[in-house]
Amino acid sequence: MTISWTMAIDFSQHIVITTGEWNYSFRAIMNTRECVVCIPPVTMLETVVRIGDVSGANIDKFNMFGPTPLPAVTVNAPLIDGCIACLECKVVDCIEKYGFIIMKVTRVTVNPDCHDRRMIHAIGDGSFVADGETFNCRELMADKLPPGL
């Protein structure tokens, strides 16, 4: 599924995704207690939107939209070829009232062949922006960063 309501919640590899039982993916994740979160480059935007417009309950989205599944190491769900990075995740908690699925990232695969590394950000009204300029404020917030980061 396509998912834009996501965030990192600490420096200990925990992330949250927000979804609910109206999505096939929610039920699959709650049943298997695992998933892979892939970060697509801006070049995949149209495919990303199309994938988020239909349900895997009725169709095989890999067949329909063409992204190639690749084997993961710590979970059974596949990585998606062509993405900037894929996070293998295990569910550690769920706050169903808000659709929060809290997960521990168990493995990260970064794709060295993905040269356009601009990520897509959903505005929320059907429009999107891609990553642009990078600003370095590491010195200003050095005391908030874990050692070695």
Ligand X SMILES: Cc1cc2nc3c(=O)[nH]c(=O)nc-3n(C[C@H](O)[C@H](O)[C@H](O)COP(=O)(O)O)c2cc1C
Contact residues for ligand X (CB under 6 A)? 1-5, 18-20, 23-25, 49, 52-57, 122
Nearest-approach distance from CB 2 to ligand X, in angstroms: 4
Query: Looking at beta carbons only, is 14 or 27 nearer to ligand X?
Result: 27
Residue least distant from ligand X (Cβ): 52
Nearest-approach distance from CB 111 to ligand X, in angstroms: 21
Query: Looking at beta carbons only, is 55 or 145 nearer to ligand X?
Result: 55
DSSP H helical segments within 36-112, as ranges?
Answer: 45-51, 61-65
Nearest-approach distance from CB 70 to ligand X, in angstroms: 19
Nearest-approach distance from CB 54 to ligand X, in angstroms: 6
Asked if residue 113 lies in contact with residue 38, where contact means CB atoms within 8 angstroms, the answer is no
Residues 6+ apart with CB under 8 A from 115: none
Query: Looking at beta carbons only, is 5 or 138 nearer to ligand X?
Result: 5
Residue 79's Cβ-count burial label (10 Å; 0-12, 13-18, 19+) is buried
39: three-class secondary structure by DSSP? strand
